[in-house]
């Protein structure tokens, strides 16, 4: 099940990419994420790995990730390699003069036929929820980069 959101940030593409691609910032803008840390020796390249804790529905899980594509400063794609559900994520950026258009796409995958059926039956209701969550997260990135003093007050 795929959902995405986009926002325009009044900051140069390099600044936005540097913030997004530094996985140690994930707990500042991704809802439910804590303790993000690199697990591979090499970082910021395709194949690099990292982990975080993720709390959802009152339960906390450890999730491992792998960077599947990295094109500085335009694209960072990751996939979960362990955790409660498999997913792929892609953040793409487009430079627009003095601002950056950022799009975040999440593709949650079914792990069995029951979950696949559930996604099919209820996806029409779940997808908008996922998109709203992605939008809230991108709006937080926008605030953090455009008005960091406002982000520290909230």
CA distance 146 to 10: 6
Q: Provide the number of structural domains found in the chain.
A: 1
Look at residue 154 and tell me if it is in a domain. no
Question: pLDDT value at position 118?
Answer: 60
For 135, half-sphere exposure in the C-beta direction (CA atoms, 13 angstrom radius) is 8
Of residues 39, 5, 8, the one with CA closest to residue 132 = 5
Look at residue 152 and tell me if it is in a domain. no
Question: pLDDT value at position 70?
Answer: 97
**CA angle, residues 45, 34, 74, in degrees to nearest 5:** 30
Domain that holds residue 139: 2-147
Q: What is the pLDDT along the chain (154 residues), one digit of tens a residue?
A: 789 999 999 999 999 999 999 999 999 999 999 999 999 998 999 999 999 999 988 999 999 999 999 999 999 999 999 987 889 999 999 999 899 999 999 987 767 666 666 666 666 667 788 899 999 999 999 999 998 776 654 5
Look at residue 153 and tell me if it is in a domain. no
Question: pLDDT value at position 123?
Answer: 60
């Amino acid at each position: 099940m795929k959902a995405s959101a986009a926002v325009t940030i009044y900051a140069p593409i390099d600044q936005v990419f540097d913030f997004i691609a530094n996985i140690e910032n994930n707990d500042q803008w991704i809802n439910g994420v804590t303790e993000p840390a690199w697990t591979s020796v090499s970082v910021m390249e395709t194949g690099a790995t990292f982990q975080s804790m993720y709390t959802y529905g009152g339960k906390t899980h450890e999730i491992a990730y792998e960077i599947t594509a990295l094109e500085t400063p335009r694209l960072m794609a990751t996939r979960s390699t362990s955790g409660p559900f498999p997913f792929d994520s892609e953040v793409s950026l487009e430079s627009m003069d003095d601002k950056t258009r950022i799009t975040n796409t999440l593709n949650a995958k079914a792990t069995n036929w029951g979950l696949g059926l559930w996604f099919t039956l209820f996806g029409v209701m779940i997808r908008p929820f996922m998109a709203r969550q992605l939008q809230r997260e991108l709006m937080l990135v926008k605030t953090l980069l455009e008005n960091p003093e406002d982000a520290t007050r909230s």
